[in-house]
């Protein structure tokens, strides 16, 4: 019995040491998981916009801004097929 | 419904109210099954659009299909406005058939208009992916224009994708028979899509869209209002245009005898 005590004590000491190591390791794992999650989330959120951002960065820039606002009336047709007379 | 004489009246009325107007067509304007367009290989359509003062037109595959390239070049030379396509290539040479865009000076702004053809092919033309063409040409156009309009015969799915993925387009004027009866604003880019008419055999050219656009001093679209005008019998026919129509009808009758 007495020969088991040092072993038992050593086991308990070892377990205690392991218990002390767990929180630090858990913290590191948590931080790492959070970083991975954050990067993944950014990728998901930003990926549809990456093309737009690339376009914005690569744009040569618009010509010098005009001084005045502008109103335009835009009249538009489509698929008129060459019809000139009323129909239907 | 329809008729170029009533269309000309609406254009004239809007021009009289506005300091700046643009008259644009999103494709499939030249000819299909009816005279005089069929008899004249689209020449009458170009004449009508010249009389109404169109500023630009996008080429649809339907504009390419019935004509040889030389016949279409003749129509383009007769037109007082550019016919545009950023993605229609000559099959043999792989050269771009038409100019991809035009820049119009309005007041002290530069309005760029890019033309897109529906993807597909004819015996002489291959029209490539409209989205790729828009991405390719937009940087150059953005360097020259502070207001950008896309005239597209690409179809609503393609136009929607372009509106989502291509930066800097203020307006897309949509062609083809698509289910878009009200302007659509794409939140991500702010691009607004307009569409006017759904054509069927025997019924085309019945409507004209009228968009009132406000841009700030930097060319950003700040406001738009829109209405779609049905060219109903209660709209008076423009006398000059009506006279032209009558001569065309008479010529068609004469040629059929």
pLDDT by position in tens, chain B (length 257): 999 999 999 999 999 999 999 999 999 999 988 999 999 999 999 999 999 999 999 999 999 999 999 999 999 999 999 999 999 999 999 999 999 999 999 999 999 999 999 999 999 999 999 999 999 999 999 999 999 999 999 999 999 999 999 999 999 999 998 888 999 999 889 999 999 999 988 899 999 999 999 999 999 999 999 999 999 999 999 999 999 999 999 998 888 87
Contact B18 A86 (CB under 8 A): no
Span A29-45, average pLDDT: 81
Q: CB distance from B50 to chain A under 8 Å?
A: no
Looking at residue B170, what is its pLDDT?
Answer: 98
- For residue A17, pLDDT over 60 is answered with no
Do the chains contact at B218 and A62, CB–CB below 8 Å? yes
Residues pairing with A76 in the sheet: B24, B209
Quote the distance between the C-alpha of residue B227 and its chain's center. 17
Of B45, B107, B210, the CB nearest to A68: B107
> pLDDT: is A76 or A51 the higher one?
A76
Strand locations in chain B, DSSP E?
Answer: 21-25, 56-58, 83-84, 88-90, 101-106, 109-116, 120-121, 125-127, 147-152, 171-174, 184-185, 192-195, 207-215, 221-230
Quick one: what percent of chain A has pLDDT higher than 70? 51
Q: How far is B91 from chain A (nearest CA, A)?
A: 24
pLDDT of residue A40: 77
* Cβ neighbours of B13 (radius 10 Å): 15
**Does the distance separating the beta carbons of A52 and B189 come in below 8 Å?**
yes
Nearest to A77 among B20, B196, B217 (CB): B196
Q: Which of B243, B221, B241 is nearest to B231 (CA)?
A: B241
Closest partner residue to B110 (CB to CB) among A63, A71, A85 is A63
Per-residue pLDDT at B161 = 96
**Residue pair B197/B1 in contact by the 8 Å Cβ criterion:** no
Taking the CA of residue B142 and the nearest CA in chain A, the distance in Å comes to 6
Q: Is A28 within 8 Å of A21 (Cβ atoms)?
A: no
**Does the distance separating the beta carbons of A84 and B245 come in below 8 Å?**
yes
The Cα B254–Cα B257 span in angstroms is 5
pLDDT given for residue A8 in this prediction: 59
Element (H, E) at A8: helix A4-58
pLDDT at A6 exceeding the cut of 60:
no
- Shortest distance, CA A22 to any CA of chain B (angstroms): 46
| Cα distance between residue B83 and residue B62, in whole Å | 13
Selected residues 180-239 of chain B with any CB under 8 Å from a CB in chain A: 188-189, 194-199, 202-219, 222, 231, 233
pLDDT of residue A48: 57
Residue B45 confidence (pLDDT): 97
User: Would the ipTM clear 0.90, i.e. be above it?
Assistant: yes
pLDDT for position B8: 98
Chain A closest-CA separation from residue B143 CA (Å): 5
Higher pLDDT, A15 or B47: B47
């Amino acid at each position: 019995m007495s020969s088991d005590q040092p072993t038992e004590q050593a086991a308990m000491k070892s377990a205690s040491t392991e218990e002390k190591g767990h929180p630090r390791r858990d913290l590191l794992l948590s931080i790492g998981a959070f970083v991975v999650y954050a990067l993944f989330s950014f990728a998901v959120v930003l990926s549809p916009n990456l093309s737009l951002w690339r376009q914005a960065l690569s744009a040569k820039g618009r010509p010098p801004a005009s001084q005045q606002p502008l109103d335009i009336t835009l009249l538009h047709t489509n698929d008129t097929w060459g019809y000139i007379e009323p129909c239907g | 419904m329809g008729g170029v004489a009533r269309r000309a009246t609406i254009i004239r009325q809007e021009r009289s109210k506005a300091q700046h107007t643009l008259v644009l067509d999103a494709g499939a304007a030249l000819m299909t099954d009816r005279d005089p367009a069929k008899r004249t290989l689209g020449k009458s359509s170009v004449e009508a659009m010249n009389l109404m003062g169109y500023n630009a037109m996008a080429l649809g595959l339907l504009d390419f299909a019935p004509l040889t390239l030389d016949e279409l070049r003749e129509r383009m030379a007769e037109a007082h406005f550019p016919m545009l396509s950023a993605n229609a290539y000559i099959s043999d040479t792989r050269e771009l058939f038409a100019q991809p865009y035009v820049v119009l000076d309005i007041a002290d702004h530069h309005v760029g208009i890019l033309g897109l053809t529906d993807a597909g092919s004819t015996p002489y033309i291959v029209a490539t992916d409209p989205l790729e063409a828009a991405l390719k040409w937009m940087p150059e156009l953005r360097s020259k224009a502070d207001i950008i309009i896309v005239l597209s015969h690409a179809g609503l799915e393609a136009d929607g994708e372009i509106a989502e993925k291509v930066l800097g387009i203020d307006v897309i004027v949509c062609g083809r028979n698509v289910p878009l009866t009200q302007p659509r604003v794409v939140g991500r880019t702010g691009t607004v899509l307009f569409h006017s008419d759904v054509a069927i055999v025997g019924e085309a050219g019945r409507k004209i869209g009228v968009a009132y656009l406000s841009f700030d001093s930097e060319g950003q679209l700040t406001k738009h209002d829109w209405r779609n005008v049905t060219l109903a019998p209660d709209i008076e026919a423009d006398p000059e245009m009506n006279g032209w129509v009558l001569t065309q009808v008479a010529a068609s009758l004469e040629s059929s005898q």
